[in-house]
Amino acid sequence: MYREDIDGSIAHAVMLGTQGIIPVEDCEKIINGLKQIKEDITSGALLIDPDAEDIHTFIEQTLTARIGDAGKRLHTGRSRNDQVATDIRLTLRKECEEVMDMLRHLTDTIFNKAHENENTIMPGYTHLQRAQPITFCMQLSAYVSMLERDMGRLADAKARMNYSPLGSGALAGTTYPINRAMTAELLGFDGVVENTLDGVSDRDFCLEIASALSILMVHLSRLCEEIILWCSWEFKFVELDDAFSTGSSIMPQKKNPDLAELIRGKSGRVFGDLMALLTAMKGLPLAYNKDMQEDKEAIFDAIDTVKMCMTALDPMIDTMRVIPENMRRAAAEGFINATDCADYLVGKGLPFRDAYKATGELVALCIKEKLTLETLPLDMYKNVCELFDEDVYKAITLETCVKNRIKK
């Protein structure tokens, strides 16, 4: 967070000099000194002292050691409270942008995999029971929609967070003639936090981002759970590249979807980060309390975990091999065209509940005779309902079911 701390301090110094609160020559020394410190830390020429109280103190002390008394003027009209609140907003703004970029790329990867399989028929499930025929494109596109909403939530949280608390001071502002709008503009904020007490005492922006990340991890976890199922021999709808699977130490036939399992497990870690933030904030009186130092570990861990999961999931899906014939075979079983059979009768004029009952009788008959709706003879159809005709066989093909039901 040293970059954000230095950027915030430079903006503060520019404002102090412009407002005549500190001499212009001291302002220039401070700005040049801070830029050099930033460059030195980035290059490794300056190592952060692990014994320093915090990064903010280290930078200010280093500045003063380098430029003398001018460095002591930097903190004029500022408290550590509004300084830290500004730094964390700047850091999270950048992190949100990075997460959204990664999420956008992951969404594109899933979208591309979906549209490679526009005509790949598979069973759609409810209660993990085969329900109706769909395409693999439709299945994956559902996750595209979820992830697009996740991007929207992160963008909304970022927009609400993008207001500057700098100038709030410890809690009640400052007597110096500062220009908060100037520092807000210099730092790319959309405005200032109007109430200075609010500016230093709340971390709801951390809560909101952690909540958005938790919902994102719910979606990634659900997708990984499906991939885990699809990889099993009970389904065998997809096969993961060896780079994202491992074998068993004792069972030579095993190919375990480890990475998908790990992402599913990591979701709990992000949920825990959200709960830690909620618990830390829930009983705090205004304004600042030391409990709020717990915000950074939790929110940064949540961000790091989400980024790590997306980094792994993106290429895993990109290289995932789809097995259309297995999906088609599964879709052909389980009478998942029964609803379409009932709809066929409705189209012939039969009330839906009567059509539903008749189709139920047909399914029971198929099970008894070890047949499917596609192979059941027409005379058996007519024994149940005279409205059936030869065109029923076309109406209940999986291709017809999918074509008639799925709308772009």
Give catalytic residue positions: 127, 248
**What is the DSSP-derived secondary structure letter of residue 289?**
-
Contact between residue 197 and residue 208 where contact means Cβ atoms under 8 Å apart: no
Contact between residue 310 and residue 213 where contact means Cβ atoms under 8 Å apart: no
Instruction: Reduce the DSSP state of residue 256 to 3 states and report it.
Output: strand
Helices (H), 249-349: 258-281, 294-318, 324-331, 338-347
Q: What values do phi and psi take at 123, rounded to 5?
A: -75, 135
Of 345, 348, 392, 343, which is closest to residue 372 (Cα–Cα)?
392
**Separation of alpha carbons 300 and 295, rounded Å:** 8
Of 336, 332, 391, which is closest to residue 359 (Cα–Cα)?
336
One-letter amino acid identity for 278?
A: L
* 397-404 CB contacts, 8 Å cutoff, 24+ apart: 397/337, 398/121, 398/133, 398/328, 398/331, 398/332, 398/336, 398/337, 399/121, 400/340, 401/132, 401/133, 401/336, 401/337, 401/340, 402/121, 402/133, 402/134, 402/135, 404/340
Neighbours of 85 (CB within 10 A): 26
Residue written as token pair 């929207």: 152
Residue written as token pair 């409810």: 126
**Separation of alpha carbons 182 and 162, rounded Å:** 15
Neighbours of 129 (CB within 10 A): 9
CA 402 → CA 123, 125, 326, 329, 331, distances in Å? Answer: 10, 14, 17, 15, 11
Q: What values do phi and psi take at 52, rounded to 5?
A: -65, 150
Give the 3-state secondary structure of 84-135: HHHHHHHHHHHHHHHHHHHHHHHHHHHHHHHHCCCCCEEEEEECCEEEEEEE
